[in-house]
Amino acid sequence: MTLSDQTTHWQEMDARHHLAPFTDYASIRKNGARVITHADGHYITDIDGHQILDAMAGLWCVNVGYGRQKLVDAASQQMAKLPYYNNFFKTTNQPIAELSERLVALTPDGLNNVFYANSGSEANDTIIRMVRHFWALQGQPEKRVIIGREYGYHGSTILSASMGGMKAMHAQAAQEPGFVHIKPPYGMLYQGNLSEDDFATEAAGWLEEKIIEMGADKVAAFIAEPIQGAGGVIIPPAGYLNKVEEICRAHDILFIVDEVITGFGRTGYWFASDYYGLSPDMMTLAKGLTSGYMPMSAVMVGSRVADSLIADGGEFYHGFTYSGHPVAAAVALANLSIIEDENLVEKIRNDTGPYLAKALAPLGEHPLVGEVRSFGMLAAIELVQDKAGPVLFDPVGDVGEMCRDHAIAGGLMMRAVRDGMIMSPPLTFEHEDIDKAVSIAKISLDKTAAGLKI
């Protein structure tokens, strides 16, 4: 078989039966998927031998890069020793006990308890159940509404998608009652002429308005990603998150942060909550917990909720077969050791984060670019029809997709969110990786502009 016959063989086999996530099935059946065969360091390789610099760390998760033997060894040793046992019937395992201690030590003070699941979606579903159970235990079962934000992403199960603010998902039978959304602190769209401080106050005010509209006696919690990831790397103005936390406290509403993307060093802090000085009641973790080598998520639960569940909750009728999986826990422990041993958090805070920001800044001058923003190893380059305004493309999304396709053809994996070009590279990215990513991004912008005759 020639190389291209081989590619077609696998593409056709895949397309015949595989319903992939977030995929337009008609289009994939027509064009075939890219078959990724292996990966090493910061590069993924497809079946045709194309090497692509992965500036998305898989899906915001392969934080320590590919090909880490230490993680392979941790998994294989644990599989040989105890590949699985459940934690349901008064049993536990050693890696999970150790991981719990480690996570409590790493996360902000007060988050002293951990519940495990396999995905961010399951962790957020767990939060919804815990939060409602908690308020029922307080004698306030009518406190059930959870406030999220437009463009927020909290997962793909019916409840986590309802809690998130993605309208396209809501439209496909994922809009359960009990979830409402406010506008995000998206400066490019909503700041106008306001100062950063005034914008923070205004955007936090949207939360208070919504609480008053719903009635605080009906609202259980507010959930926010400190920096909205899948929504397009929306970085809040300074002070916004502290203000929303204060508003939650003032109205006796639980404050939940979803650090599935921002956790484990991506921002240059162990958690974005550390940088912003937040004391959430609960925190969602996944992705970077195992650098994606094993599926695993965790809900960090603060004392207020946990004490009540422990003292008054009786049995919590909730859990997954793989909650607290020993192999995932062993991989998570090894992954945390890599982040610590290689000082990746400090590296991003002091070196590669500022370097990425500086490297990207000149792209702001490009005629297609309305705004460039970054924080640690998270970045967005927003493409606009007209810098003045700015005026977005209509329809939104086509130009971003063109630019993304140019990038991939040029050897760079970036993600398009609407017309924002997104990077969320491994935390191990070096200066030369950043230089290469930015240079291919620039070429992709030029090609996109040429295609649009700008």
Please report how close the Cβ of residue 119 comes to ligand PXG at its closest, in angstroms. 3
Token pair 């977030």 is at which residue? Answer: 22
229 contacts ligand PXG (rule: CB under 6 A): yes
Do residues 227 and 233 lie in contact, with contact meaning Cβ atoms separated by under 8 Å? Answer: yes
Token pair 């404050």 is at which residue? Answer: 255
Please report how close the Cβ of residue 151 comes to ligand PXG at its closest, in angstroms. 11
Q: Which residue is nearest to ligand PXG (CB)?
A: 120
Rounded Cα gap, residues 48 and 428, in angstroms: 26
154 contacts ligand PXG (rule: CB under 6 A): yes
Residue among 111, 211, 257, 260 that touches ligand PXG (CB under 6 A): 260
Whose Cβ is closer to ligand PXG: residue 282's or residue 286's? 286
324 contacts ligand PXG (rule: CB under 6 A): no
Please report how close the Cβ of residue 307 comes to ligand PXG at its closest, in angstroms. 26
Query: Which residues, numbered 376-415, are part of the site for ligand PXG (CB under 6 A)?
Result: 415
Please report how close the Cβ of residue 71 comes to ligand PXG at its closest, in angstroms. 18
Do residues 73 and 255 lie in contact, with contact meaning Cβ atoms separated by under 8 Å? Answer: no
Please report how close the Cβ of residue 172 comes to ligand PXG at its closest, in angstroms. 15
121 contacts ligand PXG (rule: CB under 6 A): yes
Do residues 335 and 65 lie in contact, with contact meaning Cβ atoms separated by under 8 Å? Answer: no
Do residues 247 and 231 lie in contact, with contact meaning Cβ atoms separated by under 8 Å? Answer: no
Query: Which residues, numbered 279-318, are part of the site for ligand PXG (CB under 6 A)?
Result: 284, 286
Nearest CA among 153, 111, 124, 92 for reference residue 323: 92
Rounded Cα gap, residues 185 and 448, in angstroms: 28
Nearest CA among 127, 117, 134, 173 for reference residue 148: 127
Query: Which residues, numbered 48-77, are part of the site for ligand PXG (CB under 6 A)?
Result: 59
158 contacts ligand PXG (rule: CB under 6 A): no
Please report how close the Cβ of residue 287 comes to ligand PXG at its closest, in angstroms. 7
43-46 vs 51-54, strand pairing mode: antiparallel
The backbone torsions φ and ψ at residue 320, rounded to the nearest 5 degrees and listed phi first, read -120, 150
**By the criterion CB under 6 A, which residues form the site for ligand PXG?**
22, 59, 119-121, 124, 153-156, 225, 229-230, 258, 260-261, 284, 286, 415
